[in-house]
Amino acid sequence: MKNIILVTGLLTTSILFATPSLNTYMIAEYPFLKNTKLNSCTTCHMPVVKDFLNTYGLMMRDKKVNGEINLKSLEQLDSDNDGKKNIDEIKNKSFPGSQADYPEYFVFNNTKGEVHFNHEMHIAATSYLSNGVCTSCHNNSLSTNPTGSNEQLFQKRFDDVISLRTEAHRICITCHKASGNEAAPVKCNDCHQ
């Protein structure tokens, strides 16, 4: 009986984490992308929309039949609604599932020292309260944030009238403390390098 349960568990796990990855299919179909920024997790995962995938990644997953993906069927679509077909973005080596040109890694400079912020890590890593949910940190109006308070969160679009320093101190530190994660920075020199 234990052997049946073990085999069933292993088969279920292999189905859930089926290989090859979406990226492997993409590079096989478009080998000219091998040494480009599109040969990365970002292509299918950022920005996360659902199940830790972006719109292009979701479309790829939905086209997977019997272990194969028909990427040609996605070429004429516009996954990220930027007015450009997926194939045109792929040929131009830009992300078909994101309107961003590069993975989102920010360095904020100030007198207390640089603050390095990896947006993708905060979105995709399960150890963060956001856990793939943008509204944990972003909104355009008042809403409940992960700490349970009813405060304004970061705008989804950059607004230079809003002080990121003020907002980051208020929102990030509150969330870091609420997370209970001992690795979450809560002191000045934990973030400022």
Instruction: Retrieve residue 164's tokens.
Output: 């990121």
Position 142 scores a pLDDT of: 43
Q: Which residues contact 5 (CB under 8 A, 6 or more apart)?
A: none
Report d(CA 156, CA 2) in Å as an integer: 50
The residue among 91, 26, 93 whose CA lies nearest residue 53 is 26
Q: What is the pLDDT of residue 43?
A: 86
The pLDDT profile of the chain, 193 residues, written as one tens digit per residue, is 555 544 444 444 434 444 467 888 899 999 999 998 888 877 887 777 777 788 999 999 998 888 888 999 999 999 988 899 999 999 999 999 888 777 677 777 778 888 888 776 676 666 666 665 666 777 654 444 444 555 566 665 555 556 667 777 777 888 888 877 888 888 888 888 8
Q: Which of 184, 159, 164, 161 is nearest to 174 (CA)?
A: 184
Under a CB-based contact definition with an 8 Å cutoff, are residues 175 and 147 in contact? yes
pLDDT of residue 19: 43
Which pLDDT does position 2 carry in this prediction? 52
- Phi and psi for 117 in degrees, rounded to 5? -130, 120
What pLDDT is recorded for position 186?
85
Coil, helix or strand for 99?
Answer: coil
The residue extents of the domains of the chain are 18-91, 105-191
148 residue type, one letter: G
- pTM tops 0.75, yes or no: no
